[in-house]
Structure 1
Amino acid sequence: MNLLSLSITARRGFLALSCAALGLMQWGCASTPEGEPVHGKDAMVSFLASKDGRKVVIAGEKYHYVFDGDPGVATILRWEGRTKISPALVGELKVARNQSLEGQYVLMAFDTDLTPDDQAFLIQTGFAKTEVKYGDRTGPALRYFGSVKGRRYEAGVLKQDEAVDFSRTQYLKYVEQETASGPADKAAPTPLARAADGSLVLGGAPLSVVQGGADYSCRARFMDICFFR
């Protein structure tokens, strides 16, 4: 079609449509600034928690991951039957450009490992009955799904007695959401500080190292980290 052969009105309409189409193309590009996500992993150094379980820190070689503890998990951490529970991270931690992060986890305990009182306690805490296959085990169980939110910081140096004796190298997997508009914000320095006696604190709350088991038979795990013998 020859544009010059069209009437003035038709040419104006054609040009208007062309400009509109070009505008839509530009709008489409501007509306999808997300770049390709970057997957990575960080070797774990330690696992720390406040006494009430409301502050949790996973210290890696590259970053410190600070979470606000789930009240249900805080209750579980103080429960004497906690070794009957197998926790695990579901998928990867999602890290935004501003270094905020979120993830999903699951806590599970098989009925055959629980007393009637244990089951009553876990159901009251928020666990639900289910039928699962976990490793080489199958059967009725209680399961709890939860989410974690927090922030990622630049790693700081820990003392030797603040490291965890893992039975093997443990990794925390994450995915960073990069964007075409610019690089992600640089992680801020770790908020972990030293009290006068040299112990670790977070926002004034003392932190304790949750020591890991040194053998493969340890059944209680948090985000695939064995932390109860």
Structure 2
Amino acid sequence: MTNRIHRRTLLTLAALTLLGTGGCATKALMDKATKTEYRRYEETVSQVLVTADGKRLAVLGPKYHYIFDVPEGLVQLLDSPLHRKMSARFDVFNVKANGDVEGPFALILEQASQEDRLAAKAFGFTDLSTTRAVRWFALQGSRYSAAKFSMPAGTRPLNQPYRVEVREALPNGAREALVVMTPLTVAADGALILLAIPLIPLALVVMRDLQTLPIGF
């Protein structure tokens, strides 16, 4: 009788141990499945364009297209007399698991006179110094695959390659976040079209590479 009770106790303890181990393993698997990992890559931008209605901004690379809503005030600023004295830069693009992307965009006014700085302040520039003014915009949009897209012949790229760092969320160990095909098309005359609206180069400002920016910018 005593041996039988002892054996039952051992079996019960063994079963509880297995259940505990299984629970830990299941939790570990669940944690791994729900953990979001990240990868970083560098995008070489060949074109920065805006729709003719001023509502969408397209940043084009060889593998991906990034389409953003144009932030409030950006078009008005580019149409202002200050635009000839401005350069621009993109900061890190953050791509979410669903393909949404966001990132800061800055317009920089260099060698600004006092009159320029007063005008810049009226346009919302906040980083004002004796020679420079900066205004940041928050870009939000989506990333698309450019795998089956070919740039039309004769399209003029930027004056020099422009590089943007991208941080991409990789859910559940996936190789990349959700990507759908680009909505850009090419018209019969070679013009780039986004959702039936022509795209025009954002040539009003000089794009600045991250590697060319001074430390502390």
Counterparts in 2 of 1:89 and 1:23: CA distance versus 1, 3 Å = same
User: Match of 1:161, SS?
Assistant: coil
Q: How does 1:33-52 map to 2 (within 5 A)?
A: 33-52=34-53
Identity %: 20
- Asked whether the 8 Å contact 2:64–2:144 carries over to 1, the reply is yes
Ranges in structure 1 where 5+ consecutive residues have no aligned partner = 132-138, 213-218
- Asked whether the 8 Å contact 1:43–1:61 carries over to 2, the reply is yes
Give, in angstroms, the shift of residue 46 of structure 1. Answer: 1.6
User: Match of 1:146, SS?
Assistant: strand
Write the distance in 2 (CA, Å) between the matches of 1:88 and 1:45.
Answer: 14
Write the distance in 2 (CA, Å) between the matches of 1:222 and 1:76.
Answer: 18
Q: What TM-score does the superposition give when structure 1 sets the normalisation length?
A: 0.69
Which of 128, 132, 143 pairs up with 1:141?
132
Write the distance in 1 (CA, Å) between the matches of 2:180 and 2:74.
Answer: 27
Write the distance in 2 (CA, Å) between the matches of 1:115 and 1:31.
Answer: 56
Which of 197, 207, 212 pairs up with 1:221?
207
| Aligned AA (1:84) | K
| Aligned AA (2:76) | T
* Runs of 4+ in structure 1 over 6 Å off: 18-22
Write the distance in 2 (CA, Å) between the matches of 1:159 and 1:100.
Answer: 26
Which of 116, 119, 122 pairs up with 1:121?
119
The corresponding residue for 1:67 is: 68
Q: Please report the RMSD computed on the Cα atoms of aligned residues, expressed in angstroms.
A: 3.7
Ranges in structure 2 where 5+ consecutive residues have no aligned partner = 213-217
Give, in angstroms, the shift of residue 58 of structure 1. Answer: 1.3
| Aligned AA (2:41) | G
CA deviation string 1:38-57 (max 9, x = no partner): 11112222221123432111
User: Match of 2:181, SS?
Assistant: coil
| Aligned AA (2:192) | L
CA deviation string 1:5-35 (max 9, x = no partner): 9xx9xxx9xx99x978986885576356234
Give, in angstroms, the shift of residue 149 of structure 1. Answer: 1.1
User: Match of 1:74, SS?
Assistant: helix
CA deviation string 1:189-215 (max 9, x = no partner): 211123454422212221112349xxx
| Aligned AA (1:141) | R
The corresponding residue for 2:185 is: 193
User: Match of 2:172, SS?
Assistant: coil
CA deviation string 1:55-99 (max 9, x = no partner): 111111111111111122212222232132232223x21112222
Write the distance in 1 (CA, Å) between the matches of 2:84 and 2:40.
Answer: 31
Greater shift after overlay, 169-178 or 21-30?
21-30
